[in-house]
A and B are shown apart, each in its own frame.
Chain A
Amino acid sequence: MRLPVNAEIAFTHLITRKKQTLVAAMGVMIGITVFIFLNSLMRGFDRSANDSIFRTMPHIRIYKEDEISKPLQEKNEKQEYVIVNPKIANTTKNLINPEQLIRILKKQPDVVAVAPDVAVSVFYNNGESQVNGIASGVNIMEQNKMFNIESFLLDGSLRELEATQNGIILGVGIAEKLNVRLNDNITITSSKGKRKVMKIVGLFKSNNATIDKSKSYINVAMAQQLMNERPTYVTDIFVNVKDPEKAAEYISSFQQMTGYSAEDWKKANEQILAAFRIRAIMSFAISVSILMVAGFGIYNILNMIIMEKLNDIAILKAMGFPGMDVVRIFVMQAVIIGVMGVTLGLMLSTTVITLMQKVYVGGDIGYFPVQYESRYYISGIVFGLAISFAAGYIPARKAADVDPVSIFRK
């Protein structure tokens, strides 16, 4: 019969030291709270950043890569090198037979939306003021399905663009610089030198300042005219898949399927995402450090209890408690403190998240973008308990090695 004698001893030790036990548990509580809150917040930031990325960027973009001109002959017959000056070949960025490509892509599993795009680099003019940027020739209703443009449209309407051949929906940044409003006219000039007078039928604000200062939506046909091209001219095909995190996995198959280059959104935003990743690693490191400090708190109180209890340990060993029981007695104390701290920490972090969600930060972000992230709750519990266990195990091992005879002789 195994009686819970070790547990009884462990509890007695803690109960006779309520205050210190509580302080150590509070250390764990704070560690867990910081861990869960900070990591959840970082994930929230990433989510809101991704949301803003996906307002104007597809998960995958298929386009024709610039070709570098190659020498016509590698070497002449005398085995002498021919020196050439490689430069971007003067070919169009036209995707051949885009209709068919779109049809094929739409049939792929995991593909949720496909839309063509004609990117035209343009100057926006209003009198003397001039801004350069990219006009996207789109079927606005189709792109709306992909990017939910309507959700960040400030003024005007998408239908109006569809109905107005020379309509344009401008980023607010451009409108501000050119000092124009809805229904005003502006001139745009393409890189091919074509000029068109356009009517502003909408304004959008994507919360990405760079995009808002350069991008506009126009009709596909207008974009093709600006490029002096036929109605089949398409520069990009945008593809959205089920799980954007897995976008990179489709790249090679899409490239083979279409014969063109494909780029996923992560590749296109490598720098921003690298910064995010560093931020996430930093906050993870900080929160784990705080948990470790909480672990030191447990380690401290246990070391203290063990120092005070050398006599008890000697008596227990004399009565026939093996070393392993002594380890159990003290590890149990550490784990009890850990469980208390983790439980309090879960409650506190939930409270903090609930409160912070109601705080308005403004700017691109709006409300504090923090949610209850179950993954950090789970890893918080695991880390918290693991650290408590380790913090107890180390001094407990020492306690198990106490030689009762040397204690009794004192």
Chain B
Amino acid sequence: MAERCAVIGVGQTKHAAKRGDVSMPGLVREAAARALEDAGLTWRGIDAVVIGKAPDMFEGVMMPELFLADALGAVGKPIMRVHTAGSVGGSTALVAAYLVQAGVHERVLTVAFEKQSESNAMWALTISVPFQPPVVAGAGGYFAPHIRAYIRRSEAPAHVGMLVAVKDRLNALRNPYAHLRLPDISLEQVAASPMLWDPIRYLEACPSSDGACAMVLTNGDGAKRSPGAPAWVWGTAMRSEPVIAYGRDQVNPRAGRECAADLYGQAGITNPRREIDVAALYVPFSWYAPMWLENLGFAEEGRGWKLVEDGVTAIDGDLPVNPSGGVLSSNPIGASGMLRFAEAALQVQGRAGEHQVDGARVALGHAYGGGSQFFAMWIVGSEKP
């Protein structure tokens, strides 16, 4: 029988294009120390550490958990390192949750980070391997054709991507940790921004950030002793599918649909649109908001854009999506997934500050990676499951 799992501490850094004021150990400690303080624990109170980040080439350090072990108070303890591409922040939190649910540990610190300014992140992603097609267009170049396919299929009006870009940047103004702060953002401004990878405009794409996120996870007994109200884990799920395969639908991936179905089953959710109060979705390019709304069952296929257009996903809407400003406002890649998971926890704890959704009791944290092929999700609630 699996143990219950709860989030009792959340911490994150201020995210910025370059955090030149801290080293890598300083960055992860900043987030971890905040999570520990939040949980009312010291480093000594932690049984194990699970750390995640995207490719090592982003910082130029192979398996950086080895040198970060000291800074994370992991010496003499178990420490694991997860890497599942863009979904890694979510997957890392899930591995930490497994350690608690399996009854192996009582209190687990989980941390995810990226310090992209330490290396040349663009280079790290466009490293040219011989005998691969000589077409290197970056992440935007990979995802833009799928966005075009979504627009064609759903017949969504062209301004939907811009609506998401504006909404998330306005939400970010309520989040003191957000990287981008664009108080003057408007549809006109987004429309006028350069088209990077048509149909993706500059202001419809995520920034590149330095940042870290951390959480303390514990079991039922640990949650009882926690100083604040915990966020209870109602369900966890991960799914993967191959990058290239006949029958793959990159617009509405089967792995994402099945991951959500598994998750809702565990959480006893039959109508996500009605039963989930707030969703923290991994949206690195604005059009992915309507795409994931469909993939996750919040809208019928081809109708996700209507939720955006009708204001349902606004912070005061019926289903607020990314009230923190999301990946479009802060993108320390390895940490981006965990930030979604942490945001879900903060919301049901009622501690999201200015971007708190009133009365949020059930929240979804979502992350995806690779060529829309790796998915990690959890549902947290204010009530014990």
Question: Do the two chains belong together in a single complex?
Answer: no
